[in-house]
Amino acid sequence: MKLCIENDADLYIALRNARDLHDAVPRVLDVLERDPLASAGFFRGDLLRALMDLPTEFWGANGSLFRRYQSVVRAGALARRALPSAERMEFWAATEG
């Protein structure tokens, strides 16, 4: 059954559950290209963190998306450097929303 994706929280859930990735990932990349630390409501950068947790097999099969992914990961790393320490650490400490 295809998920109904209407907002960033739905995108986050799709990533976390590895559902509808061919639909969700390009949309998440669109969001992250505008704001690398966009949030679905859990913590700053939660969408990027969920994207980073996808299996490597997905990226291996989707080269053009992987190039975009690499770019948003770099942008996210630079953006996180400007955050207060506690917020920077939350990005790595959080595992589920």
pTM, whole model, 2 decimals?
Answer: 0.86
Residue 76 · residue 97 · CB < 8 Å: no
Q: Which structure tokens are listed for 7?
A: 């907002």
Helices and strands of the chain, counted as H and E runs: 6, 0
Residues of the chain under the 50 pLDDT cut:
1, 97
Select from 41, 90, 40, 50 the least CA-distant residue to 73. Answer: 50
Domain boundaries, the chain: 8-93
Specify the 3-state DSSP secondary structure of 43.
coil
> What pLDDT does residue 66 have?
96
**pLDDT tens digit sequence for 27-42:** 999 999 999 999 999 8
